[in-house]
Amino acid sequence: TAFNAAVDGADALNAFIVKTPEHALAAAKAADDARAKGETLGAMAGVPIGMKDLFATQGVQTTAASHMLEGFVPQYESTVSAKLWAAGAGMLGKLNLDQFAMGSSNETSYFGNVISPWRRNNGDTAPLAPGGSSGGSSAAIAARLCPAATGTDTGGSIRQPAAFTGISGIKPTYGRCSRWGIVAFASSLDQAGPMARDVRDCAIMLEAMAGFDPKDATSLDMAVPQWEAGLNADLKGKRVGIPKEYRVDGIDADIARVWDDGIKWLKDAGAEIVDISLPHTKYALPTYYIIAPAEASSNLARYDGVRYGLRDLPQGAGLQDMYAATRAAGFGPEVKRRIMIGTYVLSAGFYDAYYTQAQKVRALIARDFEQAWNSCDVILTPTAPSAAFGLGDKTADPLSMYLNDVFAVPASLAGLPAMSVPGGLDAQGLPLGLQIIGRAFDEQGVLNAGLAIE
Ligand code: GLN
């Protein structure tokens, strides 16, 4: 079938960890039957999507791209995936990602790199990173293996891979999509969202994914707006803020050019452009890389060899030995690094100096945005400080990898909706993304600015 062909084509990119064409086919058949009977179709009826392998799917292996969860088959379905099936979508398979969603290049996956379908136009055929952590999602959509996929975004994992592969993706306001059944990374930051070819598809899919869920204590108890019906690229009366702190020294010339193009397009759409300041931006990256590992170290304590997935029980070993052996074998190096950083910043002697301090700075970063909303309605920035880099280019230096998240993490720390849309190409023909950040709950304003750019 066409589904099988699409899913087999994914092999060259290593985008899928598990393929489930029968699931997508069943959804397509159900849509056909409903249409034949004259029934009303769900908003995603028959659409074959990819599911990031961080969402628990009942009866289908769910790994978070970690050896720790290899072979784990959930008895339950995540709320977001259940909502997508209820809207009629079907699943082509579980998409590769950075292990436990920790990374910016999809190179920390236990199941191997995902390869971007993009190549430079200068004869350099080196394989490129699809971004991360939702790198399977971005590569599969960019290669047209599926029209849309789920992503999750803790500190940029929807937006940065979307930017690297020339597609669109939106992280909604924290709490819009239920976290129930999503493998937890940093619970105060984790948000699910759609990744797709254009803004309209993102709006349709986000509507299907979002909504209050009593099973998630931080779920927003608010009605889901009709974002697709509300799409409007006329920005008359809207003010777009340009934060001076994102115009970092040595900003890549191509990125500055695409940013200027974006400003012009929004002006052409009727918006007023205003200069704004987000003074605590420079602290966002260190703040994120304290809070995210701290929460991860707590969340990952559940992988003890008893309850989920892998168990390594050396001959004659006791409980402590089993914990140690299981974690040594199950977690990849980046996950171990995060657990160690997180445990350190939460330890009695360093808690105040790191974790408490980071929480205070997080509040200042959120306040920067609150003040900015006095003079603008949305904010426009580049999504990432570079185009896609080569596989292997940053793996030896974790800090240079973390730096790629510099423009993405402030909106995450503030819990704000933020989207990446394609902005143009760099000198080597690689896509560059533009990021739109909006007020809490104003996904519509974000989508509309994205539509004006698209
Ligand atoms: N790249 C960031 C990190 O490694 C963000 C990951 C994410 O959003 N899941 O933590």
Q: Which atom of ligand 1 is nearest to the CA of 186?
A: 9
Tell me the CA distances in angstroms from 136 to 39, 45, 129, 143, 145, one per residue in order.
Answer: 34, 23, 10, 10, 11
CATH number, domain with residue 30: 3.90.1300.10
pLDDT band at residue 314, thresholds of 50, 70 and 90?
confident
52 and 95 Cβ atoms separated by less than 8 Å: yes
CA 245 / ligand 1 centre spacing (Å) = 21
Strand pairing partners for 276?
Answer: 243
Residue 210 three-state SS: coil
Judge whether 52 lies within some domain.
yes
**Mutate-to-test residue for ligand 1 from 338, 405, 407, 435, highest number of ligand atoms within 8 A of CB:** 405
Which domain covers residue 24, as residue numbers? Answer: 2-209
The answer to whether residue 351 scores a pLDDT higher than 70 is yes
Share of the chain above pLDDT 90, in %: 94
What type of residue sits at position 54?
L
Close Cβ partners of 66 (under 8 Å, ≥ 6 residues apart)? 99, 100, 110, 309, 330, 331, 332, 335
Q: Which atom of ligand 1 is nearest to the CA of 156?
A: 8
Judge whether 367 lies within some domain.
no
Which tens digit of pLDDT belongs to each residue from 365-388? 999 999 999 999 999 999 999 999
Which tens digit of pLDDT belongs to each residue from 67-90? 999 999 999 999 999 999 999 999
In the block, residue with structure tokens 């079938």? 1
Which tens digit of pLDDT belongs to each residue from 389-442? 999 999 999 999 999 999 999 999 999 999 999 999 999 999 999 999 999 999
The total of other beta-carbon atoms located within 10 Å of residue 318's CB is 9
Within 13 A of 113's CA, how many CA atoms are on the CB side? Answer: 17
pLDDT band at residue 222, thresholds of 50, 70 and 90?
very high
**Mutate-to-test residue for ligand 1 from 99, 102, 402, highest number of ligand atoms within 8 A of CB:** 102
CA 382 / ligand 1 centre spacing (Å) = 17
CA 289 / ligand 1 centre spacing (Å) = 9
**Mutate-to-test residue for ligand 1 from 157, 158, 339, highest number of ligand atoms within 8 A of CB:** 157
The answer to whether residue 6 scores a pLDDT higher than 60 is no
Q: What b-and-e string marks burial along 362-382, b requiring 16 or more CB atoms within 10 Å of the CB? A: beebbebbeebbeebbbbbbb
The answer to whether residue 8 scores a pLDDT higher than 70 is no
Judge whether 386 lies within some domain.
no
Q: Which residue's alpha carbon is nearest to atom 5 within ligand 1?
A: 155
According to DSSP, residue 67 is labeled G
* Total domains, the chain: 1
Q: What is the per-residue DSSP string for 282-302?
A: GGHHHHHHHHHHHHHHHHGGG
According to DSSP, residue 157 is labeled T
Which tens digit of pLDDT belongs to each residue from 18-44? 999 999 999 999 999 999 999 999 999
| ipTM confidence | 0.98
Residues annotated catalytic, as ranges = 52, 133, 157
Return mean pLDDT, the chain. 96
Judge whether 97 lies within some domain.
yes
Judge whether 443 lies within some domain.
no
CA 139 / ligand 1 centre spacing (Å) = 17
Q: Which atom of ligand 1 is nearest to the CA of 154?
A: 8
Which tens digit of pLDDT belongs to each residue from 96-140? 999 999 999 999 999 999 999 999 999 998 999 999 999 999 999
What burial class does residue 150 get, using C-beta atoms within 10 Å of its C-beta: 0-12 exposed, 13-18 middle, 19+ buried?
A: buried
The pTM of the full predicted model, rounded to 2 decimals, is 0.97
State residue 57 phi and psi, 5-degree precision: -125, 125
Closest to 325 in 3D by CA, of 301, 305, 355: 305
Q: Which atom of ligand 1 is nearest to the CA of 132?
A: 1
d(CA 124, CA 202): 33
Q: Which residue's alpha carbon is nearest to atom 4 within ligand 1?
A: 103
Judge whether 43 lies within some domain.
yes
CA 200 / ligand 1 centre spacing (Å) = 25
d(CA 350, CA 252): 37
d(CA 134, CA 332): 17
Q: Which atom of ligand 1 is nearest to the CA of 134?
A: 9
Q: Which residue's alpha carbon is nearest to atom 10 within ligand 1?
A: 102
CA 225 / ligand 1 centre spacing (Å) = 28
Close Cβ partners of 52 (under 8 Å, ≥ 6 residues apart)? 94, 95, 97, 134, 136, 137, 149, 150, 151, 152
Judge whether 107 lies within some domain.
yes
What type of residue sits at position 60?
V
Tell me the CA distances in angstroms from 443 to 331, 366, 396, 437, one per residue in order.
Answer: 35, 17, 37, 9
Judge whether 152 lies within some domain.
yes
The answer to whether residue 153 scores a pLDDT higher than 90 is yes
The residues lining ligand 1, judged by C-beta closer than 6 Å to any ligand atom, are: 101-104, 133, 153-157, 185, 292, 405
